[in-house]
Amino acid sequence: MQADSIVLGAGIVGVSVAVHLQMRGRSVLLLDRRGAGEETSFGNAGLIQSEGVMPHGFPQGLGALLRYARNDRIDMHYHLTALPRIAPFLARYWWHSRLDAYRSIGRAYAPLIATSIDEHADLIRRAGAEALIEKAGWYRAFRTDAELEAATAEAEWVQREFGVRHARLDRTEMIGREPGLAPVFAGALHWTDPWSIRDPGALVVAYRRLFESLGGTVITGDAMQLSAGTTGWRLPVSGGTLEAREAVIALGPWAGDLTQRLGYRLPLGVKRGYHMHFAQPEDAPLRHWVLDAERGYMLAPVERGIRLTSGAEFALRDAPSTPIQIDRAEVAARELFPALGARSDPAPWRGARPCTPDMMPIIGAAPNHEKLWFAFGHAHHGMTLGPSTGRLIAEMVTGETPFIDASAYSPARFG
């Protein structure tokens, strides 16, 4: 089976790459071992974070590190047995999170984040997926005045630097918007511009259907079998072999497995995360996406009820689940939102976010191979940046001038 392009990975990034290549006249094969949007893209909080110009940094300062070392938090958990393997990644992550470096990274990251709403809007319209989208922003609730003041100062800096809008609400104003919240918080910040998604997995499926309507083909197969051929790339699948002039690796947390086979040593890590669904109360349902900022979990009113999402778990990607953060988060969530209903999933869902130590994705041409492209490492912002990454890669592949300068995200930055 022959095509111009093979895209490996059918999460939000891979599907978006496939759509944009197909729209530019390429014949595209989209390959995954599972269906579209059934891995990391399925289980996130469902935000298109146009405000997310500052990526999630590593805690700084001895006091913060000691608090996290106790390993009793919701926003971060680690496997002690994994530390010898993941310590080099964590050390580089900490180094890049120092204030001056972190703000420089934010300035490089912001142009990509700034495109997220417009690029999603185009695909949402083409896919007829408007019913999945809410356009009311999201809220960070703070339990103490001190944390609210610190976050407000940071939000004001972000607004001055990048033009990202926010509003500050006191406790009474926030409860007016969410009557079911208990008065256990001091106030909230409302990021007004982001969109939210009532079913993230369904949005990826809608984009996949758009891809197929444009003439693209979805194939089930093992991306790890990719190899260089005489005129491009080849991959064995059931019943034959796929051949294409170019290949795009968009495998999320599995991208390192394939790139390592191809001779690359990229500093990739993972942050695992969990979610659990709870029933919505009928009399005072949760209306908006709310982050309990000092506890580190989010409540999201999605199609299946209220999705509670945990923070980051530092562990080996395929280690057994340890959803202790969900148990801790449920206790805190019932303090904040007492009407939270019963659990509705048999067990917590687990996924893995693909991360780089400098907190920016890897988008661009593979340094040592012709016609091979990388599109992974989006950490917490994969859902946000899928369509923007898809457009960038498609423009690079087809020789167009990229719509933003993507040099900061090049694989070549790692040598």
Residue 11 lies inside a defined structural domain of this protein:
yes
pLDDT confidence of residue 219:
95
Residue 231's pLDDT band (cuts 50, 70, 90)? confident
Q: Would 81 be classed as within a structural domain?
A: no
**3-class DSSP state for residue 220?**
strand
The arithmetic mean of pLDDT across residues 14-33, rounded, is: 97
Predicted local confidence at residue 54, as pLDDT? 92
Residues 313 and 89: their CA atoms lie apart, in Å, by 14
Direct distance between the N- and C-terminal alpha carbons of the chain, in angstroms, rounded to an integer: 35
Whole domain around residue 380: which residue ranges?
1-57+99-130+198-266+357-415
Q: Which pLDDT does position 238 carry in this prediction?
A: 87
Is residue 7 within 8 A of residue 28, CB to CB? The reply is yes
Nearest 5 degrees, angle CA 293-CA 296-CA 300?
A: 85
Comparing CA positions, the residue from 296, 275, 237, 262 lying closest to residue 369 is: 262
User: Are the CB atoms for 341 and 251 separated by under 8 Å?
Assistant: no
CA separation, residue 153 to residues 60, 166, 183, 207 (Å): 18, 11, 23, 38
pLDDT at 200: 97
Alpha-carbon dihedral of residues 2, 7, 9, 14, nearest 10 degrees?
-140
Please state the rounded mean pLDDT for residues 129-147.
97
Per-residue pLDDT, 53:
94
Q: Which two tokens stand for residue 276?
A: 């659990």
Q: Is residue 94 in some structural domain? A: no
Whether residue 192 is contained in a domain is answered as no
Mean pLDDT across 234-255? 95
- Report the C-alpha gap between 300 and 198 in whole angstroms: 8
- pLDDT single digits (tens) 279-291: 999 999 999 999 9
SS (H, E, C) 183-214: CCCCEEEEECCCEEECCHHHHHHHHHHHHHHC
pLDDT at 175: 97
* pLDDT (average), residues 373-401: 98
- 289-316 confidence digits (pLDDT tens): 999 999 999 999 999 999 999 999 999 9
Which residues on neighbouring strands pair with residue 197, listed in sequence order?
133
What pLDDT, on a 0 to 100 scale, did the predictor assign at position 364? 98
Report the pLDDT averaged over residues 142-171. 96
Count Cβ atoms within 10 A of the Cβ of residue 175 and give its class: 0-12 exposed, 13-18 middle, 19 or more buried: middle
Average pLDDT over residues 195-209: 98
CA distance 195 to 79: 33
* Residue 328's pLDDT band (cuts 50, 70, 90): very high
Q: Which of 23, 30, 24, 33 shows the shortest CA–CA distance to 3?
A: 30
User: What pLDDT does 1 receive?
Assistant: 82
Domain for residue 12, yes or no? Answer: yes
* Residue 323 placed within a domain: no
**CATH number of the domain that residue 28 is part of:** 3.50.50.60
Q: To 10 degrees, the CA torsion angle through 219, 220, 221, 227?
A: 10
78 φ, ψ (degrees, to nearest 5): -140, 155
Higher pLDDT pick, 230 / 327: 327
> Taking a C-beta distance cutoff of 8 angstroms, is the pair 222, 33 a contact?
yes
pTM of the predicted protein model:
0.96
Please determine, for residue 230, whether its predicted confidence score (pLDDT) is greater than 90.
no
Handedness of CA 185, 328, 190, 278 (dihedral sign): negative
Residue 276 contacts residue 183 (beta carbons within 8 Å):
no
* Number of structural domains the chain divides into: 1
Mean pLDDT calculated for residue range 245-251: 98
75 within some domain: no
- Residue 208 has a pLDDT of 98
pLDDT band at 142 (very low <50, low <70, confident <90, very high): very high
Give the mean pLDDT of the chain: 96
Per residue in 57-81, pLDDT (tens digit) is: 999 999 999 999 999 999 999 999 9
Residue 90 domain-assigned (yes or no): no
Inform me whether the pLDDT recorded for 317 exceeds 90: yes
The rounded distance, in Å, linking the Cα atoms of 310 and 45 is 9
Q: Is the pLDDT of residue 388 over 90?
A: yes
Place 345 in a pLDDT band, splitting at 50, 70 and 90.
Answer: very high
Q: In angstroms, rounded to a whole number, what is the distance separating the alpha carbons of residues 34 and 13?
A: 15
